[in-house]
Amino acid sequence: MSAPTLHLVDASLYVFRAWHSMPDDFRDEDGWPTHAVHGFARFLLELLERERPQHIAIAFDESLGSNFRHALYPAYKANRDPAPPELKRQFAWCKALCQALGLVTLAHPEYEADDLIGSAAHAQRDQGFRSVIVSADKDLSQLLRAGDEQYDFAKGQRWGEAGVKARHGVRAEQIPDYLALAGDAVDNIPGVTGIGPKSAASLLGHFETLDALLERIEEVPFLRLRGAAQMAARLREQQPQVLLWRQLTTIALDAPLPEGGFARRQGDGEELDALANWLGFGEFTRKRLTEAAGLSA
């Protein structure tokens, strides 16, 4: 008997994608743009219709600038421009739409969507569930264990724990160490000076973990790596920093989660109608939303 599946959706990725790719032709009744909501709704309906998940959670980022990583490193994600009011408003509508559809939503002021996804996957694994993480984000690959999958919905690509190394050069559980060494420009994490993705993968291929690498730095100059002696020197100099980078790149597994599990529920017809009216959804989308909510069309 196969394990039940929990779908975990990284909402921000798909809201941002819609914000940048959808034509700015949609407005709510107050005249604010709603193109990101329309694009996100299109993605969500396609996902629900294609996968027909029985257990699902949609994770939203509400901790930008306030999550625990900023307390550790104030420059974390400081390279990102704050979301304009037009986008913040649409994030709120996307979350409201998920709730009206009867889908569990995850958001917390101190934890990122990645942490909420990781905590849900970890908690439900103990209940016999496997996870399908709907996101292209490489950071989330660290969560994959036997039976789990990551699903890049836009490209139609899926991979499991065994497929992580082919994509990133390291195993799933090595991703935090890999990003700590090589850095992650997207999150403004510098990494160790002079160590790039290939060098980081090679070092972890030899030492397995960052801890073992730091314990055996004296071996690094003798590796067949270009600039190995300089890498060893930089690792000695920047040991406190690389350990901090690993704290930032490790997804938390203990974020607070809602009670009651992640079973898909019947949606709220009145709320769905109100949202559809306010956001200007067409008849075809309204019909699909009603069906996705488990309500009679």
One domain for residues 286 and 229: no
One domain for residues 11 and 156: yes
Splitting the chain (297 residues) into consecutive groups of 10 residues, what average pLDDT does each group show? 91 94 88 95 98 98 84 90 89 97 96 97 95 96 97 96 95 98 95 96 97 97 93 97 98 96 96 95 96 87
Examine residue 271 and state whether it is found in any structural domain, yes or no.
yes
What is the CATH number for 147? 3.40.50.1010
Q: How many domains does the chain have?
A: 2
Examine residue 231 and state whether it is found in any structural domain, yes or no.
yes
What is the CATH number for 235? 1.10.150.20
One domain for residues 155 and 183: no
One domain for residues 150 and 261: yes
One domain for residues 124 and 269: yes
Examine residue 297 and state whether it is found in any structural domain, yes or no.
no
Domain limits for position 210: 172-249
What are the beta bridge partners of residue 160?
Answer: 149
One domain for residues 137 and 38: yes
**Nearest-CA neighbor of 139 among 56, 240, 57, 248?**
248
pLDDT at 1: 59
Examine residue 262 and state whether it is found in any structural domain, yes or no.
yes
pTM of this prediction? 0.96
User: Which helix (H) or strand (E) element contains residue 10?
Assistant: strand 5-10
